[in-house]
Amino acid sequence: MSGFSAELQRLFLMSTIQEMDKLLGMLDDLTAAWKRGDAATLDRMLVESQRGDERMRPVFQKLIHDRNVSMAAGLRQLLQSEGTLFVVVGAGHVVGEGGLVDIFSNDERFEVRQMRRALAASLP
């Protein structure tokens, strides 16, 4: 956050404080959407509101978009190695336009599939 202007830091802090009760109330809905594999709901709840707020666009750009691009580049390098990989990222980085799934889906070198809960449960 220190890379933002003082005004943008203040705006982000105030927005977070103002939205805290709403965010805490969303946790159950976020968890349920994640368990269902409901990417559209996760995108709407985690990313879409930030993407659409003109004042917060620089925050969204730095915290979500730029980090997605950077993570995708790092993942491409990792995917060239041998063996099995397990990668953990925040749910907001996976969903929506410009999310990691979108980035890799648009790269013909990769096949991207969402695992369903039943399939995930059957894995060792």
Residues 30-47: what's their mean pLDDT?
Answer: 86
pLDDT in tens, 64-74: 899 999 999 99
Instruction: Give the global pTM.
Output: 0.77
Residues 49-62: what's their mean pLDDT?
Answer: 76
Q: Can you tell me the distance from the alpha carbon of 72 to that of 116, in angstroms, rounded to the nearest whole number?
A: 23
Residue 47 is predicted with a pLDDT of 77
pLDDT in tens, 18-36: 878 887 788 888 888 888 8
pLDDT in tens, 94-115: 998 899 999 999 999 888 888 7
